[in-house]
Structure 1
């Protein structure tokens, strides 16, 4: 006879997965404004480097 499935363990794993995704989403949302400024700052840097090369 096969062993019984441990539904409590499976449920706990699903809950942890949801909690992790929710935390990642919250961090992404909170740092989303910082990420936008980092992208906008990263774009001018190559432009500044180009005139100094010429």
Structure 2
């Protein structure tokens, strides 16, 4: 498998596009919603109920 995103000599834009094309929607959302480790307490990461 040719992984352009792992090639440091490839242009950044090509690397980003390659990596994003390999990621699922869930993986992309996970990257966007990561919590900083210093504030990742059990209460901070507990699922919250949303009222409608």
TM range (shorter): under 0.3
Kindly name which structure, 1 or 2, has the bigger radius of gyration based on alpha carbons: 1
Q: Which structure would you say has the larger RCO, counting Cα contacts within 8 Å and 6 or more residues apart?
A: 2
Structure 1 or 2: more helix by fraction: 1
Query: TM-score, length-normalised on structure 1?
Result: 0.25
